[in-house]
Amino acid sequence: MKISASFLGASNIGSTLRRLNVTSVDYIHVDVMDGKYVKNKSLSLSELKEIPDYTRKRLDVHLMVQSPLKMIDTFATLNVEYLTVHIDIKDNLDKIFERCKLYGIKVGLAVNPKDDISIVFPYLDKIDLVLIMSVEPGLPGQEFIKTSLTKINRLKEEIKNRGLNTLISVDGGITLDNVKYLRDVDIIVSGSTITKSPDFEETITKLRC
């Protein structure tokens, strides 16, 4: 299980990224919000471009935006491993997959809590990762929605039955208490649990075991 640290809600982005850079965390989870797909707005283009000034970790970008296609060129210049868009957006998903492939960026699809996990099944052989939202997208520090665990199991079964390698990532509300239910997912995204703790590395180590 890999850990992707979200800094959404961190009071000082620069210092949080610098502190995360010297931990064993696997990825930096970059939450981008446009004020349309979700109410809040986060990270302007210039803020995004500054991220490599603070960390050399690979980025796991989560675009909570209605029209991500036009942003992909920007991410091609950053250290991005995964770029995830939501399944119910306006842009054409195939065009997004194509553009990411062109840049060698792995692509993910995010599924919201209200949606049945089967909506992602037709795309499983075209994508690298499914991001299961275990909170409503838009805010850090919310409570983990327990029905996400059923979704994880159904998705796992489907991936296995079809012999695919699609990764499962889970985002939102993950704590030192409930992480035990997520041992067999590929990536967990953790925001507040890490960034509100005094010792990031100690918390990351606890999340892993």
Which residues are annotated as catalytic?
A: 31, 171
DSSP letter string over 24-87?
--SEEEEEEEESSSSS-EE--HHHHHHHHHH--SEEEEEEE-S--GGGHHHHHTTTEEEEEEET
Residue of 66, 79, 142, 197 interacting with ligand DX5 (CB under 6 A) = 142
Choose the one of Zn ion, ligand DX5, none that binds residue 59, judging by a C-beta under 5 to 8 angstroms depending on kind.
Answer: none
Strand 106-111 versus strand 129-133 pairing type: parallel
Residue of 88, 126, 138, 181 interacting with ligand DX5 (CB under 6 A) = 138
Tell me: does residue 62 bind Zn ion (CB under 5 A).
yes
Tell me: does residue 31 bind ligand DX5 (CB under 6 A).
yes
Give, as ranges, the residues between 149 and 208 that touch ligand DX5 (CB under 6 A).
171-174, 189-193
Whether the Cβ atoms of residue 102 and residue 125 lie closer than 8 Å to each other = no
Closer of 38 and 100 to ligand DX5 (Cβ): 38
Which neighbouring-strand residues pair with 6? 29
Q: How many CB atoms lie within 10 A of CB 44?
A: 10
Contacting residues for 88 by C-beta, under 8 A, at least 6 apart: 112, 115
Closer of 68 and 191 to ligand DX5 (Cβ): 191
Site of interaction with ligand DX5 (CB under 6 A) = 6, 8, 29, 31, 62, 135, 137-142, 171-174, 189-193
Site of interaction with Zn ion (CB under 5 A) = 31, 62, 171
